[in-house]
Amino acid sequence: MRIEISRYDHPDATELVRQVQQEYVHRYGGPDSTPLLPEDFLPPRGLFLIGYHAELPVAIGGWRSQDSDVDGFEDGDAEMKRMYVVPGARGAGFARAVLAELENTAARAGRKRMVLETGLQQPEAIGLYESSGYHETAKFGVYREEPDSRCFAKELN
């Protein structure tokens, strides 16, 4: 897989974001309502990646800077958003590759901790994060009061 830095509003990213939102509708009954803007993912305060396999977009993920002035975050946080691999490409290590690149780029940008929110209806995502060194942390964001929401964190080097 080839991983490229992209804009959040790039057509390939837009299509995969549409697909991940449909995945949320299927699993949770509605799309993710976290407010996101394309500029949230512009360096140096954020980054968005697209993974290509056989020249087709198959994976996405991004991070945006957060600090303690936002409820539940700490100074130096990078909040991961829109991690997704198309169903036909799952199980090939693409999610792990995008995750590693997100962590590396956030650390190089001076971020100290990667944080993310997911839910109990995504056990494969929870498994990926736990097997990659993430631990459950205090809830943050728009879903912090949702009982099925889980937040994870990992210190970056």
Place of tokens 């303690």: 68
Q: Which residues contact 49 (CB under 8 A, 6 or more apart)?
A: 3, 4, 5, 6, 59, 60, 61, 62, 98, 101, 102, 105
Which tokens go with 44?
Answer: 């140096």
**DSSP codes joined into one string, 52-108:** EETTEEEEEEEEEEE-TTSTT--TTEEEEEEEEE-GGGTTSSHHHHHHHHHHHHHHH
Domain 2-155 has CATH 3.40.630.30: yes
Domain spans in the chain, listed from the N-terminal domain onward: 2-155
User: Residue 33, SS3?
Assistant: coil
Model confidence, pTM: 0.95
Q: Partners of 25 in the beta sheet?
A: none
Place of tokens 């459950």: 136
Which tokens go with 113?
Answer: 């901790």
CB 63 within 8 A of CB 47: yes
Q: How far apart are CA 11 and CA 17, in angstroms?
A: 10
Q: Each residue of 73-116: pLDDT tens digit?
A: 999 999 999 999 999 999 999 999 999 999 999 999 999 999 99
Q: How far apart are CA 145 and CA 155, in angstroms?
A: 24
Q: Each residue of 24-72: pLDDT tens digit?
A: 999 999 999 999 999 999 999 999 999 999 999 999 999 999 998 877 8
Q: Each residue of 113-132: pLDDT tens digit?
A: 999 999 999 999 999 999 99
Question: What is the number of alpha carbons within 13 Å of residue 1 lying toward its C-beta?
Answer: 23
